[in-house]
């Protein structure tokens, strides 16, 4: 996550990456209503940008704008207190008051330039929230311990702590127990169909319909650590897994269509839905092959009413 400072500290600009879930297993439901999960996450070279303007103020306050990459307003992302970025600001202030008796909070206005698709399973909102937490820590007069920042991130959502790590990471529990995990870089084509799914609906479908033997993330991590071959992407193509794919397929028939379509291209090593969907990624051996897959996807024409139309297509590299 890259942060730059402008206007004598009045403007902090941060680029917040999307992610793909290379492995995602659900262990069971917790008493607090969340699910225990195990996931291997790789951030990718697809970014939102947050411009954070700071002003002197007697009371903590945050205001938001959401714009597209060209600076035009977007209406599909909330800019009120329900946005995770606004929640991140409130949680940070609460933690500072509780742990350091700190109460000198500035007013902040955040312009969110969205490039990461919403309802995609790519973690855009969580990454944006982690981005503001990182900016506040970077800017603040008090040195905030990293474990406190992770605790604050965990209060916001399962994916937020994952974005505080640089590079790939393993998430356990609700996702709040995070450890870094080094992975070789890989190229992929990311496709976000026009149709979106609700994360809560996908989990609800999992809870009511899915009964299958669990797969072990630790087994996969062990294989990764022992791998010494020449094409890591080809090896990783045999290890990727997402438990939520089956649940999502009960809600939308586009899951199987997109997975089979992406898998049909000769340049694709393996294809999978990311998170709770509806974005998919196709692992490729090199940038050229990823671009070929992207071109092939852009040429697709689906003529139906099931929400399977091509939306956004990106060629990315894991970070």
Which of 159, 180, 201 is the C-terminal boundary of a domain? 180
Give the Cα separation of 192 and 254 in Å (integer): 11
Calpha distance 191→187 (Å, rounded): 13
Structurally, the chain folds into a number of domains equal to 2
Residue 197 near residue 277 (C-beta atoms within 8 A): yes
19 is catalytic: yes
CA distances in angstroms from 62 to 13, 85, 243, listed in the order given: 16, 9, 37
Q: State the pTM of this model.
A: 0.94
Asked if pLDDT for residue 181 goes beyond 90, the answer is yes
Catalytic residue among 137, 159, 192, 259: 159
> Whole-number mean pLDDT of the chain?
93
Question: Would the pLDDT of 178 be above 60?
Answer: yes
Domain co-membership, 176 together with 192: no
pLDDT class for 308, splitting at 50, 70, 90? low
Residues 174, 195: one domain? no
CATH of the domain at 279: 3.30.70.890
What phi and psi values does residue 12 have, to the nearest 5 degrees? Answer: -115, 125
Check 19, 87, 119, 137 and give the catalytic one: 19
Write out the residue range of the structural domain in which residue 270 sits.
Answer: 187-317
Claim to verify: residue 145 and residue 78 sit in the same structural domain: yes
Token pair listed for 68: 């597209």
d(CA 236, CA 190): 16
- Is residue 167 over pLDDT 80? yes
Is the predicted pLDDT of residue 174 greater than 60, yes or no?
yes
The CATH code of the domain that includes 44 is 3.30.230.10
- 205 and 137 belong to one structural domain: no
Same domain, 245 and 300: yes
The SS3 of residue 88 is helix
User: Would you say residue 70 has pLDDT above 60?
Assistant: yes
7 and 124 in a single domain? The answer is yes
Q: How confident is the model at residue 35 (pLDDT cuts 50, 70, 90)?
A: confident
Q: Are residues 276 and 215 in the same domain?
A: yes
Q: What is the DSSP string of 121-141?
A: SS-HHHHHHHHHHHHHHHH-S
End-to-end, the C-alpha distance of the chain in Å comes to: 10
User: Which pLDDT score is estimated for 310?
Assistant: 73
Q: Locate tokens 């002197």: which residue?
A: 56
Residue 98 is a catalytic residue:
no
- Phi and psi for 123 in degrees, rounded to 5? 75, 25
Q: 249-293: per-residue pLDDT in tens?
A: 999 989 999 999 999 999 999 999 999 999 999 999 999 999 999
∠ CA 142-147-153 to the nearest 5 degrees? 90
Confidence of residue 211 (pLDDT cuts 50, 70, 90): confident
In this prediction, residue 193 has a pLDDT band, given cuts at 50, 70 and 90, of very high
Query: Both 131 and 276 in a single domain?
Result: no
Q: Do 30 and 161 belong together in one domain? A: yes
């Amino acid at each position: 996550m890259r942060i730059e400072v402008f206007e004598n500290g009045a403007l902090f600009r941060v680029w917040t990456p999307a992610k793909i879930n290379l492995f995602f297993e659900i262990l069971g439901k917790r008493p607090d209503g969340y699910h225990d999960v195990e996931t291997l996450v790789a951030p990718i070279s697809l970014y939102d940008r947050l411009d954070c303007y700071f002003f002197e103020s007697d009371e903590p306050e945050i205001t938001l704008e959401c714009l597209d990459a060209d600076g035009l307003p977007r209406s599909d992302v909330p800019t009120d207190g329900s946005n995770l970025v606004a929640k991140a600001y409130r949680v940070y202030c609460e933690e500072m008051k509780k742990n350091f008796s700190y109460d000198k909070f500035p007013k902040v206005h955040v312009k969110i330039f969205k490039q990461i698709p919403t309802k995609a399973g790519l973690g855009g909102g969580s990454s944006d929230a982690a981005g503001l937490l990182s900016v506040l820590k970077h800017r603040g007069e008090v040195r905030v311990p990293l474990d406190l920042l992770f605790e604050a991130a965990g209060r916001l959502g399962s994916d937020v702590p994952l974005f505080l790590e640089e590079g790939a990471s393993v998430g356990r529990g609700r996702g709040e127990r995070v450890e870094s995990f080094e992975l070789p870089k890989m190229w992929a084509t990311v496709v976000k169909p026009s149709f979106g799914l609700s994360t809560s609906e996908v989990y609800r479908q999992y809870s009511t319909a899915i009964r299958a033997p669990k797969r072990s993330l630790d087994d996969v991590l062990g294989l990764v650590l022992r791998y010494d071959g020449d094409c890591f992407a080809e090896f990783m193509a045999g290890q990727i897994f997402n438990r939520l794919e089956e649940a999502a397929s009960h809600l939308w028939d586009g899951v199987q269509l997109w997975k089979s379509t992406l898998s049909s291209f000769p340049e694709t090593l393996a294809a999978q839905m990311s998170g709770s969907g509806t974005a998919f990624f196709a692992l490729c051996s090199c940038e050229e092959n990823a671009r070929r897959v992207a071109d092939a996807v852009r040429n697709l024409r689906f003529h139906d009413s099931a929400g399977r139309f091509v939306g956004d297509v990106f060629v990315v590299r894991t970070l």
